[in-house]
Every structure is written in C-alpha cells, then in structure tokens.
Amino acid sequence: MRSSYAENRYDEILGALTRLYKPKRIAEIGLLDGFSLKAFADAAPDAEILGFDIFADHVGKHPDEAQLREQFKAYKNVRIAYGDFYKLQHYLEGSTFDFIHVDVSNHAGVYEHAFRHYLPLLNEGGLLLLEGGTAERDQVEWMSKYGMKPIRPFLRSSSRPEYFTFDPFPGLTVVRK
C-alpha cells in the first residue's frame, strides 16, 4: 500500500489517537491507497468515516477508485466519494467532525486553507490532522519543482493555532480546536 506514512508506522499513531479520542465522525481528504483510512476504520469501527479524493483528476499519484472501493466495501462505516479539497468545505458546511485528516500533496497553502475552512467544521476538542510539517518533508523534490511554500515557516508564524508535529518524515501535524 503506497503511503509516505507506512515506513514510520504512522498508522499506529493514527490508531492510537483514534482510540484515545474516540471520534464519532471522521473526514479523510486524500486517500491514495487507503493507508490512513484503514487505520481510522480499524480503530473506530463504530465511527462514521467519510473518505474523499479527486481520484484520476489528480495529476500526481492518485488512487485507483475501483480498487479502493473494493478494498473498503467490507467496512460498513466507511463511505468513499469524490471531493476536491479546495471545494469540499462547501459540501460539508453544516456538518461537524471530530477528526479531519488532510493528505493532498500538502504545502503551506493547503495548511492555510485547512485552518481557514476545515478547522471551523470540527467539534470543540476535535483534531485537524495534516500530513507533513517536518523540515525533511519541506525539502521533497516536488515542493521546489512546483514552487510550493514550505509548511514549517507557516506553522511557526505567531497567528497559527497550537499544534504538535510528530517526527520523522513525513510528519503528522495535529491541531486541536
């Protein structure tokens, strides 16, 4: 299963956070092969879990939609749908979540959009989980190739909410509402 989280067992961190906080509603934005979606589904079988991706519309690595749906059909609490990160907040307005996980080729602009549009969709005490946040992750080839702003300087600005970034690469940044 392709995931930048796999090598350093971030599924264990996601599972531990899920078991500790016991979320009832989770939104996963950016699915690839379902690594983190599976971690949430296994740790919270009674939670409603909504997984969103733009599938083949993404120019980089993207999931095989049919394969992903087949993989998760046994999970009755998981729904997979098309959803563009930059537009999805409009569809989700009026909904609230306990966890929102964003893994969509993250860079500072993704974080800024998530803080502005997805943090308000969380219940009080809910977690916004974002891939990235380490110095090493800010140096990946495609970030400089496409002129993407690094995440760490964005996070360190004084106007951002409190956060914690798990190390090592790629990092997992956790923001609590």
Interaxial angle between packed helices 108-117 and 85-92, expressed in degrees from 0 to 180 and rounded to the nearest 10? 10
Higher pLDDT, 58 or 29: 29
Task: Tell me: pLDDT of 3 over 70.
Answer: yes
Write out the two tokens for 152. 């760490």
Task: Tell me: pLDDT of 59 over 80.
Answer: no
Higher pLDDT, 20 or 157: 20
pLDDT tens for residues 113-130?
Answer: 999 999 999 999 999 999
Report the pLDDT averaged over residues 65-80. 97
The pLDDT mean for the chain works out to 95
Fold topology of 10-176: Rossmann fold (3.40.50)
Q: pLDDT grade, residue 60 (50/70/90)?
A: confident
* Residue whose token pair is 């080729």: 105
Show Cβ contacts of residue 35 under 8 Å, excluding neighbours closer than 6 positions.
Answer: 1, 2, 3, 5, 6, 11
Task: Tell me: pLDDT of 158 over 70.
Answer: no
Please give the Cα distance from 155 to 106 (Å, whole number): 13
Helical segments of 30-164, H only: 35-43, 65-72, 85-92, 108-117, 141-145, 151-156
Most confident range (mean pLDDT) of 55-59, 90-94, 95-99 is: 95-99
Show Cβ contacts of residue 87 under 8 Å, excluding neighbours closer than 6 positions.
Answer: none
